[in-house]
Amino acid sequence: MSAFTLRDAGLDDVPALQRIYEDAVLHGTATYELMPPDEAEMTVRFRNLTGQGYPYIVAVDAHGEVVAYAYAGPFRARPAYRWSVEDSIYMLPQAKGQGIGTALLRRLVELCQEKGFRQMIAVIGGSDHQPSIKLHERVGFRHIGLFEGSGFKFGRWIDTVFMQYRLGDGNGTMPDETVFPGTLG
């Protein structure tokens, strides 16, 4: 395994985030976007999520290069979903298979628990996307559903896999309605 460190992402990381995401858009099914956003759009997205208190982290290799990133964002926009987050992880091809994804996802889970979120949902593009499915299983996510043929990319229909992880007390206790989860930390 190569050496890497995890840290909070900052605005200076946006060019690297954009390059990593561009590769995912153009060559994979981790996202159903068809055209990669430019740096300006990635900056808007980054500020929107971090400005609302959602965690956004990067993995940096021994040379100081951002090779992967992960963030949590709203699962759905309706207020009743405010205790649930959706995770996203993107990596450079050469960073895969080195434990970076597992480290990022575990840290993202910790950060979301600290912020008071109760459920994390993985929305995985492709039932054949075994590396992502196995990664989520390793961290403790359970399968909750499959939307067959729900995406169309690269000239084929793609299933969407849903997995879920209970954060903290999950639905076992009542949330503190006076605090929005993203503002706890």
Q: What one-character-per-residue DSSP string does 103-164 give? A: HHHHHHHHHHHHTT--EEEEEEE-TT-HHHHHHHHHHT-EEEEEEEEEEEETTEEEEEEEEE
pLDDT at 183: 57
Predicted confidence (pLDDT) per residue in 43-97, tens digit: 999 999 999 999 999 999 999 999 999 999 999 989 889 999 999 999 999 999 9
Q: pLDDT category, 182, cuts 50, 70, 90?
A: low
Give 25's strand partners. none
Q: What is the mean pLDDT of residues 103-132?
A: 96
Give the domain ranges of the chain: 4-183
pLDDT surpassing 80 at residue 135: yes
Class of domain 4-183: alpha beta
